[in-house]
Structure formats: C-alpha cells, structure tokens
Amino acid sequence: MNRDEFSPAQRSALDWLAQENAAFSLDHQTIWSFHEPAWREYRSAAWYAARLEAEGFEVERGSAGMPTAFRARWSNGSGPVIAGYAEYDAVPGQSQVAEPRRAPRPGTSKHAAGHTDPHSALGMGSFAGFLAAKRAMEAHGIGGTLVYFGEPAEKMCGAKPVHAAHGYYDGLDAAISFHPHSFNALTNGVFWDTTSAPYWSRIYTFECDTPETWQDSVHGGTVAHAHASARAPGAIDAVCLMYTNSKMMKESMLPHTGTWTLNEFIPVAGQAAADNLAPAYSQIQYSMRAPNLEMCATVFEVLDRNAAHIAAMTHCTMRADWITKTRPGLPNHAMAEATFRNFEKLGAPQWSEAAREFAREGQRAQGFDAMQNPFLDAMERLTPPAEAEAAFRAQLPPWQLNYAADDYVDYTWHAPTVRLYVARPTLKPDPSGKRYGEWLRHAMNGDPACIDPMWSKAAEVISTTIIDLMTVPAILERAQAEFRERTGGGIGGSKWIAPLLPADFEAPVGYHWPEWVETPRGPEWSIR
C-alpha cells in the first residue's frame, strides 16, 4: 500500500483502523460467541446499538417492528447520506468451536447455531469501516451523514425488504454492502453486471380445528367410543402431502433453464399426542431463489394451489403468509469502480503462518495430507470486475443476470449501491476430489489469525470509499446519474421496482424459529 495515493482524511481512517485492530478483533469474538439464529439475535443487536450510541449515533432500536433490528444515524453537517449495515444471525445446526477439531462450542449442542459465512465478521468489517470514516470526518471537518442499520435474519433474506417497505432507505445517497467471498471466482472485488437474484419465502399453516365434522356419522359399532371412529387426517397428513406432492411437482413448475432452487423447512408438525386424535397444527416454509420475479411468482402459484387442495383433502384450514420477497439486484458501475480503485490501492488481504497452520491441523484432523499452503491462491490477490463477470457469464445462460440470493438487493433500488467481496479463509480442494467437512470452515471463522485479515481489509476499503463519496462530488454524481438511468428516472421511475412487501408488513418474528430457551432443566436448543 502506498499511503501517498490516499487523501489525508483517508490516511487518518486507515491509521485509526490500524490502531484499533486488536480491539475490533476482540469485538468480533464477542459477536461470534453470541451465535444467535435468525430473528433471535437479541444480544448481538443490543451490543451494536449500545456501541453506536457510545460513538455518538442516534439509535432507533426495533426499527420497522423488528426487535433485533436498528437504525443508527450520525451527522457532521450538510453533505451526502451514506448507508451501510451489520448482519449478525447465525445458522442452526452449525455450532463449532474455534479449534481445528470437530466439536460444538462448549456448553452447547451440535444443533445450536454457528456463524457460517460468517455474519459476525461481515458486521465487524462494515462497522469498523463506518466508525473509521466517522473519525476521519470529524478530524478533517468533512460534512455528511452516516446511516448504519442492524439487519437481522439475513439467512432468511428477512430484514432488508421490511426496512425498504417501511421507508427506511428513503433519502439515502449511496450504500455500501459487504460480504465475505461466496464465489471462488470473486474473492476480492465487486459485483459488476451479474448481481444477486430474488429470494421469496412463504409459510403455509394447516389447522384441523373441527375434526368432529370429518364424517356425518360414527361407524364405531354398537359400543360408542371416539377411538373406534375414523379420525380426520389432520395437520400431519397435510404437511406430509404438501412436502411430497410439491417435491414431485418440481419438474412441472418451471422449464429446465436458469439456476433456481426451492427448499423447505418444517418448523411445526402435529401438536397432538400419538393417539387417535387428529393432529391439530402444522407449518411448512418454502424458500426460492430464482433469476427473475416472474419465475418466483410462477412457483408460488403452484405451491398456493397445492396447499389449498391439500387442506381440503385433510380436513384442515390453510393460511399462506409471506416471510420475505426480495427484488433482483441492480448494478452500479460507478460505485463498483470507485470501491475497487481503493481496493487496488490497499492490496489484497494476507494470511499469517499461524492461520495456515490452523488450516493444516484441520486437514490432518480429517485424514487429509496437510498442504504447505492450504489456502486458495486467489485469497491473496484481487479479482478485477471484468474477470469476475466473465466467470459468471461462462456458467449462466445469456438471459440470466441475477444469481444466488441476498437481501442487500433491496438497497440497490433506493440508492446507488456497491457489493464488495473480501476473501475469507478457504481451503484448496484436495487432489483426490474429496470434500472437507464444513466444520473446519466454520472453525476458522472464530480463529483470529484466520478471520481477522478478511474483516480488517473490508474495513479499510469501506472507510476509504466513504471518504471518497463524501469529498469527491464527481463520484457520487456519476453513481446517481447511473442509478437514474437504470431505474428510468430514479425512485418511482419507469423501470424502478417498488418494494414487494406492503408498507404495513409485519416482520415474521412470531413464528417458532429455532432458538435457545430456558427450562427447569437448563438451557436447551428448541424448535417449539
């Protein structure tokens, strides 16, 4: 890194990050250790909110009716309004200690949540970058406003569509989205034209409230007894039929083109003893990633129809409720170029021998030969936007411009937004072709030597880019002109896509999502 390539304000931000690196490393350990799952990130959200208030931000807790969301705002006078965010949800069933051996975290079960992407480091990289920019703005008298969001339940693409629908992204001039690298073809760089795809999720609830009306007469012989009567099929049969029939109909939902996925989760089934009683209550959630909105709509038409027929077959009522609906991502070349220029000046992250030895020990623990350099070579080099885009285009049909899914896309329809990727510790494939256990990847997320280079590099790129957006008007002007062109005139324009959830949408926090609960027997991991 050549410091002379940066402005005095940017150098101040970088110096502050270097000075505070050890403190932020401990902060990351705090969030990583909370490992709270979607919609239940109470301690993580409270930690961020308290820290932001201590830094002088005005914090609205529980924004848009989401108990574990927040919006924080700090202003240094007139100037651009730049947004960013933290995520902090962990994934059920992925509990892993930060050691090169397979084991859940002490005091938890293997069913507990763990940080996989990891969102703990995603949030810390963004958080540190925004605080560094704030310190530089104060020190150098730079006007502008920072708006920082707490975005829970990203694994369900949960919070951002809700914030967008409730108007929280109105008035932003630009936004910065950061994620640990997800594609080996894009380790250290930015999205260009191919961006994230829509993600829709809906939950179907079946209830058998009147099992006694299943048949008009009781055929129990001369000795009347309810257990001698045919019972209503009820809610377990409903959820089983929904699962199996929708699985069998996948090939009839969409043509065999484009990369789309449909996954399901059954949070509740039964709510009755294994007796001759009709199971009263069940739920099944479907989540879909698809290249465009039309494909999402088509599949959920089929699922809605299946659910209605199955409810009639099983003597249940049925209710269908949206969990989330995101839009396709909207690219912005001006934001991507400005961000990648700073990344080039800063250079790719680098990993120490301690990190490599952690990975080697993990390889040995799984019966693999330890490699001299166990990490992907691409982790320590930049991925130019054209190179990453070419890799995407090589595997996707020409018409498909959106791939995978992430709810950051909802920012892109309200302000010019960049999607930044920084390499996370990732092992080279074994020559035999055998895959490593996911637990090792998760273990590296909690080891400072392995994970700190990723989030600390992200903080540098984010802070220097914020300072550019605040101090070089031409960058923001170009980004906003491109935004207006892509949306056909900006928000409300001819090509603009409005939030897909209604303005009064209530976030789905009340469902029986997996979480830790306190019982007389002690803490337990529960799907109630």
How does pLDDT run across 11-30, given as a tens digit for each residue? 999 999 999 999 999 999 99
Q: Is the pLDDT of residue 188 over 90?
A: yes
Stretch 116-122: mean pLDDT:
97
Stretch 252-276: mean pLDDT:
87
pTM reported for the whole predicted model = 0.96
Stretch 337-360: mean pLDDT:
98
Sheet with strand 174-180: strands edge to edge: 58-61, 70-75, 145-150, 81-86, 174-180, 417-422, 189-190
Check residue 217 and give its pLDDT.
Answer: 58
Looking at residue 427, the DSSP 8-state letter turns out to be B
pLDDT per residue over 29-79, tens digit each?
Answer: 999 999 999 999 999 999 999 999 999 999 999 999 999 999 999 999 999
Q: Is the pLDDT of residue 222 over 70?
A: no
The secondary structure of 174-231 as a DSSP string is: EEEEEEE--BTTBSSEE--S-EEEPEEEEEEEEE---GGGSSSS--S-SS--GGGSPP
pLDDT per residue over 352-399, tens digit each?
Answer: 999 999 999 999 999 999 999 999 999 999 999 999 999 999 999 999
Local structure of 473: helix, strand or coil:
helix
Domains of the chain, start order: 3-195+328-486 (3.40.630.10), 200-325 (3.30.70.360)
